[in-house]
A and B are shown apart, each in its own frame.
Chain A
Amino acid sequence: MNSPRSAWLFLAPALVVLGVFFLLPVLGALILSLTDYDLYALADIRNLRFIGLGNYWELLHRPLFWSALGHTAYFVAVGVPLSMGASLGAALLLNSPLARCKPLFRTALFAPVVTTVVAVAVIWRYLFNTKYGMANYLLGLLGIHPVDWLGDPHWAMPTIILFAVWKNFGYNMIIFLAGLQAIPPDLYEAARIDGASAWRQFRHITLPMLKPTMLMVGILTVSGYFQLFAEPYVMTEGGPLQSTVSVLYLMYDEGFKWWNLGSASAVAFLLFLLMFAVTVLMVKLSRRGEHPDGGPA
């Protein structure tokens, strides 16, 4: 047996599984997105119409889609830097030789990641209750007027961002921690001997050495945050005034609440295109500052 054929033979089981459980459903959804599959079509297939790009066209003319896109973009633009900053900060603190009780803090900071979003959302909803919440109580101690955290369309999204960042930063923190621990200590030693301050060590050793980790964490976080769903679903149900409806939330409503599977599939593909474009852009931008040989500039 020649080697390419045996390679295909070994790959075949995996390819079949990928094809049946991944490619086929995606293809099915793509076809679905070109039809007006809904309740009536479910009842009687003769009520199904092929409408080409009609779903996409309609979506692009729907204010709710654009506002959902806006909310999602807002969430990504504010949430991702915050989340990455928080996780890098926490990782640096945990990695510092001065830190005490490291395993305890590592566990404590990672705990929100592994808890159920529904369970912690219930607690956060109490924390942010306008009348009885601790957040407003603390603001009150400072003499600040209470904020209607989850009930005011302007505050609902920032509250959800805070919640999501708190919930998720532990995951990235662990990755950053691994990245930090992989930096050879002799680099810092050499820098110290040359008299570099802590800030300069961070700028010229830690950051460049962490760059591949940063890129990976960045891409993971961006694509994760674009799929914002569970947080608004349990905290606000998309309200108030639909100010926390994300693209994925819209898809869920269209598809599973109202059973408009055609239009829901179209939302999914638009979101996919958007995430794909953003990821490509991020990879391109990160390559820009590199030498052709791949080393840092």
Chain B
Amino acid sequence: MTHGPRPRRSRRGLWLAAIAVGSALLGSCAPAPAGHQLTLWTIGREGEAIMQLLPAFERAHPDIRVKVQQLPLTAAHQKLLTAFAGGSTPDLSQLGNTWLPELVALHALEPLQARVDHSDVVRADDYFASIWATNVIGGTLYGVPWYVDTRLLFYRKDLLRKAGFDAPPRTWAEWRRMLAALSDPQRHVYGILLPTNEYEQLMSLALQQPEPLLRDGGRYGNFESAGFKRALSFYVDTFKLKQAPAITNVEAGNPWTEFGRGVYAFYLSGPWNIGEFRTRLPAAQQDDWATAPLPGPAGAGIGAAGGSSLVIFRASKHKDAAWQLIEYLSQPAVQQQFYELLGDMPPRRSSWQGGALRDDPKARAFREQLEQVKPTPPVPEWERIANEMQLVAAEAIAGQLTIDQAAAEIDRRADTILAKRRWVLDHAQPDHAREHPP
């Protein structure tokens, strides 16, 4: 290059640099070589894993090139909305299924049912029903599930055995007994870690109840129902009885090591932690921990239907190519590979029948729970409502509110957040807004 103390060569270097820059500029101006350049946005760590899956796709489809952009989770939501406002959405993207209703409300996504009907690869009946359902908003399909996520229990087998329990809890009553036996606040030992700034744990308990979390078609909160209050009481009691420390995940710092040290016997979390525990705990401890479906009020196994889907944006000019990429990523063999790379669990039953997943005892509880997961309310405001729910719950944990007061307060906040939605639903325009109700 042009730097370095060699003045005689510098002129030639300068020319070379100029030519290089010029040709790069020309190259970027020239029309793309016959074919498609797809832009794919990924959120979080999936971007790294997908890089290793793409070469095979590009070999099979020589006319399609895929450009991956990785968004950090903390900035992704903002980036997606900004891209929509600025008209610069990608061709396709990974999208968390709690964010899907929001982008559907913006009419940003392409309906996919017709493509699924003609597909040999994507077969709806092979997917876990509730996960598939989170992609259907107002009767229209907008995404194809890519990986699933449900929160359940990680537990220390050895600690439970030492306390006299042979099996993980199936009901709340059993769970409470175990938590009591395994907690010793004097020694800073707790039954479970429930970070007070994460709403997924309380939400998972609340979804086990028969009552929905919102009522009247998502117009009002339904948090004063008996079921939600039952879940909230169970949750808050866990802190009141000192069976969980009232700390946030900022303070919890490194929960994996502490789980290994026996500070917590249970950890309510998601599938990515299988990989975390495998890498962070010493080999000698690998037989000491296991996973179990989430205990319910009466029986185990109901949890939240989370995860990410693949969606095509309405503004994309390469929808057919984007669909080919979705089909490729939906093949069971590719999903198994994806699981091995990252630990993200596949949404199709047939993907679970082979590869590393089939015999993995740590994944079995997920497989069991995935048949029974329940979707969160499909309204664009849900994430915000869940956040407020958690803020109020944290006040109840701190003893500032009773269960009844907290439930009423969550309803009040949810109703305020949903005010605009009620207005829009009641004043919906008769034309295209009707076709895709928010």
Given A240-B196, A241-B398, A242-B391, check contact A38 B251 (CB 8 Å). Answer: no
Give the total number of A-B pairs whose CB atoms are below 8 A apart: 70
Can you name 5 A-B residue pairings with CB atoms under 8 Å?
A39-B81, A40-B105, A43-B107, A131-B188, A148-B247
Interface residue ranges of A228-279 to B (CB < 8 Å): 235-237, 239-242, 256-259
Q: Is B421 an interface residue (CB 8 A)?
A: yes
Return the contact of B247 from the options A151, A257, A259 (Cβ within 8 A). Answer: A151
B77 touches A42 (CB 8 A): no
Given A44-B433, A256-B78, check contact A36 B250 (CB 8 Å). Answer: no
Q: How large is the interface on A (under 10, 10 to 19, 20 to 34, 35 or more residues)?
A: 20 to 34
A239 touches B197 (CB 8 A): yes
Return the contact of B438 from the options A36, A40, A242, A256 (Cβ within 8 A). Answer: A40
B248 touches A44 (CB 8 A): no
A151 touches B429 (CB 8 A): no
Chain A residues lying within 8 Å of B433, measured Cβ to Cβ, are 44
Given A46-B429, A241-B398, check contact A130 B420 (CB 8 Å). Answer: no
Binding site of B, secondary structure by majority: helix, strand, loop or mixed?
A: helix
Q: Is B424 an interface residue (CB 8 A)?
A: yes
Contacts from A to B (Cβ < 8 Å): 36, 38-40, 42-44, 46-47, 125, 129-132, 148, 150-151, 153, 235-237, 239-242, 256-259
Q: Is B174 an interface residue (CB 8 A)?
A: no
Chain B residues lying within 8 Å of A148, measured Cβ to Cβ, are 247, 251
Contact mask for chain B residues 420-434; partner A; CB cutoff 8 A; 1 contact, 0 none: 110010000100010
Interface residues of B, count at CB 8 A: 30
Q: Given A43-B438, A131-B253, list of 4 further CB < 8 A pairs?
A: A39-B102, A40-B105, A40-B421, A150-B251
Q: Is B165 an interface residue (CB 8 A)?
A: no
B429 touches A44 (CB 8 A): yes
Contact mask for chain B residues 81-122; partner A; CB cutoff 8 A; 1 contact, 0 none: 100110000000000000000100111000000000000000
Chain A residues lying within 8 Å of B81, measured Cβ to Cβ, are 39, 42, 259
Kindly state the separation between the CA atoms of A33 and B303 in the bound complex, as whole angstroms: 40
Chain B residues lying within 8 Å of A240, measured Cβ to Cβ, are 196-197, 248, 394
CB distance from A117 to the nearest CB of B (A): 15
Q: Taking each of A36, A43, A237, A256, which has the highest tally of chain B beta carbons within 10 Å of its own beta carbon? A: A43
Q: Across the A-B interface, give the 9 residue pairs with the lowest CB-CB distance, nearest first.
A: A43-B106, A151-B251, A256-B78, A40-B424, A151-B247, A258-B384, A239-B197, A239-B248, A259-B81
B250 touches A236 (CB 8 A): yes
Chain A residues lying within 8 Å of B211, measured Cβ to Cβ, are none
CB distance from B242 to the nearest CB of A (A): 15
Q: Is B48 an interface residue (CB 8 A)?
A: no
Chain B residues lying within 8 Å of A257, measured Cβ to Cβ, are 77-78, 384
Return the contact of B84 from the options A38, A42, A132, A153 (Cβ within 8 A). Answer: A42
B251 touches A42 (CB 8 A): no
Chain A residues lying within 8 Å of B84, measured Cβ to Cβ, are 42
Contact mask for chain B residues 228-270; partner A; CB cutoff 8 A; 1 contact, 0 none: 0000000000000000001110110100000000000000000
B420 touches A38 (CB 8 A): yes
A125 touches B250 (CB 8 A): yes
Kindly state the separation between the CA atoms of A234 and B106 in the bound complex, as whole angstroms: 30
* Residue on A nearest B197 in the bound complex, by CB: A239
Q: Is B380 an interface residue (CB 8 A)?
A: yes
Kindly state the separation between the CA atoms of A40 and B107 in the bound complex, as whole angstroms: 10
Kindly state the separation between the CA atoms of A261 and B105 in the bound complex, as whole angstroms: 17
Chain A residues lying within 8 Å of B58, measured Cβ to Cβ, are none
Q: Taking each of A36, A38, A237, A259, which has the highest tally of chain B beta carbons within 10 Å of its own beta carbon? A: A259
Chain A residues lying within 8 Å of B85, measured Cβ to Cβ, are 42
* Residue on B nearest A46 in the bound complex, by CB: B429
* Residue on A nearest B75 in the bound complex, by CB: A256
Q: Is B395 an interface residue (CB 8 A)?
A: yes
Kindly state the separation between the CA atoms of A36 and B102 in the bound complex, as whole angstroms: 17
Kindly state the separation between the CA atoms of A239 and B252 in the bound complex, as whole angstroms: 14
Chain B residues lying within 8 Å of A38, measured Cβ to Cβ, are 420
* Residue on A nearest B106 in the bound complex, by CB: A43
A132 touches B253 (CB 8 A): yes
CB distance from B200 to the nearest CB of A (A): 15
CB distance from B351 to the nearest CB of A (A): 34
A130 touches B250 (CB 8 A): no
Q: Taking each of A129, A240, A256, A257, which has the highest tally of chain B beta carbons within 10 Å of its own beta carbon? A: A240
B250 touches A40 (CB 8 A): no
Given A42-B81, A46-B429, A132-B253, check contact A151 B106 (CB 8 Å). Answer: no
Kindly state the separation between the CA atoms of A235 and B429 in the bound complex, as whole angstroms: 45
* Residue on A nearest B436 in the bound complex, by CB: A43
Chain A residues lying within 8 Å of B78, measured Cβ to Cβ, are 256-257
A150 touches B250 (CB 8 A): yes
